[in-house]
């Protein structure tokens, strides 16, 4: 893993963070109990280029920027933890790796189970003082999960086909 980031890496990170903020806060759907967005796309690219630690850090920065510019709810630290873990998951599965059906499915399942089905229900119950078994937490979430797993898996896999990641990795390793 990179110990420090050079100027080109910082510029690339900044661009990907800006894309994450835009996709999640401006082009995403957000209700009190559910979020749907395509912010995972720049996040996967970050994971391929920079690995788990830096992608986690980048996702945390995107959370801070998004919350300071476009907050629709009070800040809650649990979602910052989610952001770090989701970034770390994409870095773990895609850093300097070819995107295959296998790691696409694995990354989607691990992030969905850990973040969307375990941690987020806990944070929402704590934040809104509703019981953890409340239908307002689970009904929209289970519907989203069933629809979203195939969509996110397919987008992740096809991203692997269109991104010139071998050139990127060669270029970033030379620097």
* Site residues (vs ligand FOL, CB under 6 A): 24, 32-35, 37, 39, 63, 67, 72-73, 75-76, 79-80, 82, 115-116, 120
CA separation for the pair 150, 18 (Å, rounded): 26
Nearer to ligand FOL, 12 or 116 (CB): 116
Residue 95 structure tokens = 């850093």
φ/ψ of 29, rounded to 5, equals -100, 130
Residue 90 structure tokens = 């994409």
Nearer to ligand FOL, 97 or 140 (CB): 140
Q: What is the DSSP letter of 22?
A: I
Nearer to ligand FOL, 5 or 60 (CB): 60
Q: Give the nearest distance from C-beta 6 to ligand FOL in angstroms.
A: 29
10 Å Cβ neighbour count for 73? 11
Rg for the chain (alpha carbons), in Å?
Answer: 16
Q: Give the nearest distance from C-beta 73 to ligand FOL in angstroms.
A: 4
φ/ψ of 64, rounded to 5, equals -60, -45
Q: Give the nearest distance from C-beta 129 to ligand FOL in angstroms.
A: 14
Question: Looking up tokens 């694995």, which residue turns up?
Answer: 106
Residue 38 structure tokens = 């395509």
Nearer to ligand FOL, 133 or 167 (CB): 133
Do the Cβ atoms of 64 and 35 come closer than 8 Å?
A: no
Nearer to ligand FOL, 103 or 120 (CB): 120
Q: Give the nearest distance from C-beta 30 to ligand FOL in angstroms.
A: 6
Do the Cβ atoms of 104 and 160 come closer than 8 Å?
A: yes
Q: Give the nearest distance from C-beta 128 to ligand FOL in angstroms.
A: 9
């Amino acid at each position: 893993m990179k110990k420090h980031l050079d100027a080109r890496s910082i510029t690339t990170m900044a661009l990907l963070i800006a894309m994450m903020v835009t996709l999640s806060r401006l082009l995403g759907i957000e209700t009190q109990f559910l979020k749907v967005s395509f912010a995972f796309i720049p996040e996967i690219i970050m994971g391929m280029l920079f690995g788990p630690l830096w992608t986690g850090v980048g996702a945390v920065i995107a959370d801070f920027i998004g919350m300071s510019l476009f907050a629709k709810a009070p800040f809650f630290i649990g979602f910052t933890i989610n952001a770090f873990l989701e970034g770390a998951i994409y870095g773990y599965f895609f850093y300097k790796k070819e995107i295959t059906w296998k790691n696409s499915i694995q990354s989607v399942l691990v992030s969905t189970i850990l973040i969307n089905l375990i941690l987020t229900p806990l944070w929402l119950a704590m934040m809104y003082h509703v019981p953890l078994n409340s239908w307002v937490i689970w009904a929209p979430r289970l519907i989203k999960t069933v629809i979203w797993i195939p969509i996110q898996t397919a987008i992740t896999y096809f991203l692997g086909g269109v991104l010139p990641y071998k050139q990127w990795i060669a270029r970033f390793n030379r620097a």
